Amino acid sequence: MPWIKTIEAATVESEEIAAAQAGKDWVVLYAADGGFYASAVLCSHGQASLADGYLEDFLIECPLHQGTFDIRTGEPVDPPCTEPVRVYPTKVEDGFIYVEVEENET
């Protein structure tokens, strides 16, 4: 699976959340506890953008119905969310965040 270069790590550090294109798809990048995490953009419950959500520790709150997901695993934590969101491995090289995506997503 290829690693796709997204945006500068400093951009996410200053905002905590940022949307970025990774191949054909968009992802949401999160800065939490000194690391970077990535998930699908859309909430699995209400099709709202998690890039507009509220991040606290490792939980992203959907802006539509306030359900939460763990950004490390994608698992739902609070209702009404019951289905996980997809998460992607990340790494930082030369100041940029890279997201690992499947071949058909590039």
Amino acid at 25: D
Q: What is the pTM of this model?
A: 0.92
Q: What integer is the mean pLDDT of 36-61?
A: 94
What is the token pair recorded at 31? Answer: 């800065």
- 103 has pLDDT over 90: no
Residue 104's pLDDT band, with cuts at 50, 70 and 90, is low
Q: What is the 3-class SS of the chain, one letter each residue?
A: CCEEEEEEHHHHHHHCEEEEEECCEEEEEEEECCEEEEEECECCCCCCEHHHCEEECCEEECCCCCCEEECCCCCEEECCCCCCCCEECEEEECCEEEEECCHHHC
Residue 47: per-residue pLDDT: 82
When divided into structural domains, the chain yields a total of: 1
Task: Read off the CATH number of the domain in which 18 is found.
Answer: 2.102.10.10
Q: Which domain holds residue 48?
A: 3-105
- 105 has pLDDT over 90: no
